[in-house]
Structure 1
Amino acid sequence: MKKHIPNAITLLNLSAGLIALTFAFDDNLDMAFFWVCMGIFFDFWDGFAARTLKVKSEIGLQLDSLADMVTSGVVPGLIMYRMLANIQENQEIYNLTPETFYMGLVPFLGFVITLGACYRLAKFNVDTRQTDSFIGLPTPANALFILSIPMITKTTDFEFIETFYSNPYTLVVISFFSAFIMNANIPLFSLKSKNKALKDNKVSLLFLGIAAVLLLLFKYEAIPLIIIFYILLSVIINYTSKKAVS
């Protein structure tokens, strides 16, 4: 019976992603953000349950990627599409017309994120280097980054930040960068603890501590900062490790 527990949690991740999709279709990006967060929460605990119960399986690995494809792949792509499409209301600001923008292909460029996530998840399943760490930004982290953008534009007190994230050219660049960074050959540390030893988890604890402080200080605006800090910290760790070995 216990072997089905992790898979059931994975299906909760998928269910949360499907609910997020329905809210995204209705342009309710607040609730889409909430349900993606719920999906990522379940995504963490299914792996934890599988390791704790010692019931890791091949079907669980494939099921996890399929669920992540919806929650952390399709949803952020659709959210980016919605953000780009909604800019039609401000076309005059950017000298755009329905013929050149809304009725064109630009909003569909948001689905580059979905394509990048799909390739990332497929590669993860066959890449033996990613058992204890990641190569490229994990799709849940990328999904949080993308879904934080509409939340930032709605809640920020800084006009320049709202202007920056409301620019269609910025959003297109973010879409392509998102697909790139998920598949970049950059080793990133994992937050999944293998044991209870403090020395083996000090990097994760440092990151989580700083992330918590940033969230308290900046709320939604902290999410892109946390993702950038995660990447930079991983690069620094990789550099210092190579230097120590040499």
Structure 2
Amino acid sequence: MNFIKNNLANAFTLANLISGSVGVIHLLNGDYKTTATCIVLSLVLDFFDGFVARAMKSDSNLGAQLDSLADMVSFGLLPGLAMYKMLEPFGNSLLGMNLPFEIKYLGLFITIFSCLRLAIFNLDEEQKYYFKGLNTPSNTILIFGLYFVDQYSGFFGGITSNPILLVLLTIISSWLLVSPIKMIAMKFKSMKLQDNYPKLALLVGAILILALFQLAGIPLVIVYYILVSLIFQESFGK
């Protein structure tokens, strides 16, 4: 029984890794619906591994390392490859210039900065009740969400057909991952209403955005999340 108790959370983490790996395979094969399903499953498993570890008091250094390693695939490699796929049709052409490399490889900067973000998080004891920089799951939802929505509805006006916008998005996404901007984390320091205004604003706004825009609202929620976090910067750490 102790073995199960000590390793149940790790089982959720490894399931997250498997889901992310399957998502990567289907992304490269052009099966974006299955990739989307895998991302959702990884998000659920990523939540529950921490929840189970806390509930069963089985937190461990091994679990923390496994969590980051699994997230590196599900929320690090996958969004980098999503941007790789978006940039793939443009070859080595950008701003009318022929570069000595194919610009699709620029998408992997998202993977590099995701790795940096996860390593920094592991070493930073400050990020208990808020994140510093955009967390990797949110970044994955933003990058893949834009791609997925644009592929199936064209709601964002064909953003994936503009290589300049995609390169700018890659730069912004990479910077946000390691930026000093404090971001809302859904961890409650207290149950006082005034201590949770940022979370309430995020929750209410996210529900409204999803109700209004439905599928297209998924990446918009992440943009809203960043904006709300910027508005409430002064309230973090108090």
Same fold (TM over 0.5): yes
Cα RMSD (Å) = 2.4
5+ residue gaps, structure 1: none
Alignment TM-score, normalising by the size of structure 1? 0.86
**More helix per residue: 1 or 2?**
1
Q: Tell me if structure 1 keeps the 8 A contact 2:130–2:236.
A: no
* Aligned residue runs from structure 1 range 161-176, under 5 A: 161-176=156-171
Preserved CA contact (<8 Å) 2:198 2:229: no
Runs of 4+ in 1 over 4 A off after TM superposition: 94-97
Counterpart residue identity of residue 8, structure 1: A
Q: Which range moves more in the overlay, 106-115 or 202-211?
A: 202-211
**CA 1:96–1:28 in structure 2 vs 1: closer, same or farther (change >3 Å)?**
farther
TM-score (norm 2): 0.88
Q: CA deviation at 1:129?
A: 0.7
Are 1:225 and 2:228 counterparts?
A: no
Shift of 1:95: 8.1
Pick aligned residue for 1:80 from 70, 80, 83:
83
Offset of residue 201 of structure 1: 4.4
* Larger mean Cα displacement after TM superposition, 227-236 or 72-81: 227-236
Counterpart among 138, 141, 164 of residue 138 in structure 2? 141
Relative distance call for 1:157 and 1:126 in structure 2 (3 A) is closer
One-letter amino acid matched to 1:80: M
Query: Is the Cα contact below 8 Å between 2:13 and 2:70 reproduced in 1?
Result: yes
Q: How many percent of aligned residue pairs carry the same amino acid?
A: 35
Equivalent-residue separation in structure 1 for 2:75 and 2:115 (angstroms): 9
Cα distance change of structure 1 residues 80 and 181 upon mapping to structure 2, 3 Å threshold:
same
In 1, the alpha carbon distance for the partners of 2:13 and 2:188 equals 19
Q: Deviations over 1:108-134 (max 9, x none)?
A: 000000001000000000001112211
CA distance in 1, matches of 2:102, 2:67: 31
Distance in 1 of aligned mates of 2:119 and 2:207: 31
Aligned equivalents of 1:96, 1:220: Cα separation in 2: 34
Which consecutive unaligned segments of at least 5 residues does structure 2 have? none
- 1:42 pairs, out of 32, 41, 45, with 45
State the alpha-carbon separation in 2 of the partners of residues 144 and 235 from structure 1: 19
> Which of 52, 55, 70 lines up with 2:55 in the alignment?
52
Q: CA deviation at 1:232?
A: 1.8
SS in 2 for 1:130: coil
Checking the alignment, whether the CA contact within 8 Å between 1:23 and 1:29 is kept in structure 2 is yes
Asked if 2 retains the 8 angstrom alpha-carbon contact of 1:77 and 1:114, the reply is: yes
